[in-house]
Amino acid sequence: MQIFWHISQFPELDHLDPIERAAVLRGVPWWTYPQLAVGAIIVGVVAGIVTLLFAFFHGLGGWEAWAPGVVVTIIVVIHGYVSGVKGIRKSMRKELIKFFAGHRPPFCL
């Protein structure tokens, strides 16, 4: 499984010729990836801070408190990014289904 997909690598676009593919990709706003990344980082950092505070309030200190916070942050950031990309793919599939409504698409979703 590829974690860090770029929209131009989505298999749903494989059926398009280069001109159609370029037209579709021009419709993707430039801020899509920064928005996904920043959102995932913010949520991950908040989750890490909550984990760190939980550890401190339960009497842990030093590395015993920081390690879970760092691990939670990393896991939540990766999960947030992957979820965002999956959401984009789901939206893309819905748009393709709407586009080919009443016609047989030349590919399999």
Beta-carbon-side half-sphere exposure of residue 2 (alpha carbons within 13 Å):
8
Reported pTM:
0.70
Return the pLDDT at 3: 54
Provide the pLDDT for residue 26.
76
Other CB atoms within a 10 A radius of the CB of residue 52 amount to: 19
- The predicted pLDDT at position 74 comes to 94
Q: Residues of the chain whose pLDDT is less than 70?
A: 1-8, 12, 105-109
Which is nearest to 74 in space by CA: 33, 38, 45, 35? 45
